[in-house]
Amino acid sequence: MSRRKTERLLNLVICLLATRRPLTAEHIRQAVPGYDSANDEAFQRMFERDKNELREIGIPIEVQKDPWEEDPGYRIVRQAYELPEITLEPDEAAVVGLAARVWQRASLAEAASGALLKLRAGGVETDETGGMLGGALELRVDTQDPAFPALWEAVRDRHPVRFPYRVAAGESVLTRTVEPWGVVSRRGKWYVVGHDRDRQAPRVFRLSRISGPVVPAGRPGTVTVPEDVDVKAMVAPRDEGPVQRRTAVIRVREGACQGLRQVAGAVRPAGEGWDELEITFADPERLAGWVAGFAADAVVVGPPDARDAVIRRLKGVLA
């Protein structure tokens, strides 16, 4: 944005804020320096663009069209423009400072620091040192997935989106059309939840599996989030009823396999430099993946399916 244009826009803001009654475009053209030299058509274009730019940075321009007036009038209503008076107690200021730092490495960093700047400009002192929390606590969320900004916008503007999505097994990429209800981070992974139009059902998608651009698939304001939806609950692991837990017997070399020993229900010497552990498990494949990592230091004695799962993995390595 050129200096001249910034000047014109600032003067336009001041002009529209200062006026009590809405001003017509022609009025504004006379009042704001920078428009005067333009011809009619150029002025119209300029004025349209300027209004859009002001709206983009969040300035509410009111348009009033009275039946007895030929041209619409414009103004900025002070109450809609101004940051309301906010005062923060010292403990509140410390909490705000902490919250603003959460996004420091994420795509919302700019929004958070913009908010702090406005608060300070409004005379609200925020405490960015951690203050009474003594700087002893730091929270951070990263949003490295390229899809995050577009999905945040979609949730904000309530418009459906379309994106290429890799199914769990990873072989194929399918296009999904989703009405997003929310974006949730769980254990460092971001998910988008919403109504899947193709399947006509609520679904959860992992942002890391979105393999291309997220594009709008409808107009803003067309997504309705059902009132009883709990986006966090949708991402939480599903309770699949009581899982059958069994006990595996695993021989481990003395002094090795600390990780396995930590979760073992029982440890007993098995002789010849080996100990025998009892470990409860639900999924033999998960157990096998873990035990296989200890190579020749751990051997599953039973049950047979867990033992076979490890052997299969080890043979897989050699295949």
* Residue 55 in contact with other proteins, rule: CB under 8 A: no
Binding of other proteins at residue 25 (CB under 8 A)? no
Cβ neighbour number for residue 22 with a 10 Å cutoff: 21
Residues forming beta bridges with residue 9, ordered by sequence position: none
Binding mask 284-313 for other proteins (x = CB under 8 A): -----xx-xxxxx--x-x-----x--xxxx
Q: Does 182 bind other proteins (CB under 8 A)?
A: yes
Task: Tell me the pairing of strands 266-271 and 298-302.
Answer: unpaired
Please give the Cα distance from 251 to 296 (Å, whole number): 10
Long-range pairs, 29-32, Cβ under 8 A, ≥24? 32/8
Asked if 48 is part of the footprint of other proteins (rule: CB under 8 A), the reply reads: no
How near is the Cβ of 130 to other proteins at its closest, in Å? 9
Q: How far is residue 123 CA from its own chain's centroid?
A: 30
In whole angstroms, how close is the CB of 260 to other proteins at the nearest point? 9
| Secondary structure (3-state) at 90 | helix
Q: How far is the CB of 243 from other proteins (least distance, A)?
A: 19
58 near other proteins, judged by CB under 8 A: yes
Cα dihedral value 96, 101, 106, 108, nearest 10: 30
- Selected from 45, 186, 199, 219, the binder of other proteins by CB under 8 A is 186
- Contact by Cβ (8 Å): 189, 209: no
* Number of residues lying near other proteins (CB under 8 A): 113
Candidate residues 25, 38, 46, 81; the one interacting with other proteins per rule CB under 8 A: 81
CA 168 centroid distance within chain? 21
Of 306, 269, 305, 268, nearest to 290 by C-alpha is: 306
Instruction: Tell me whether residue 259 or residue 282 sits nearer to other proteins (CB atom).
Output: 259
Does 6 participate in binding other proteins (rule CB under 8 A)?
yes
The one segment of 41-49, 203-211, 214-222, 238-246 that binds other proteins by CB under 8 A:
203-211
Q: Which parts of 251-280 interact with other proteins (CB under 8 A)? A: 251, 256-259, 262
- 213 sits near other proteins (criterion: CB under 8 A): no
Residue 158 contacts residue 221 (beta carbons within 8 Å): yes
Contacting range for other proteins; rule: CB under 8 A; set: 63-71, 79-87, 212-220, 239-247: 79-87
How long is the chain?
319
294, 252 Cβ separation under 8 angstroms: yes
Contact map string, positions 136 to 175, toward other proteins, x by CB under 8 A: xxxxxxx-x-------x--xx---------x--xxxx---
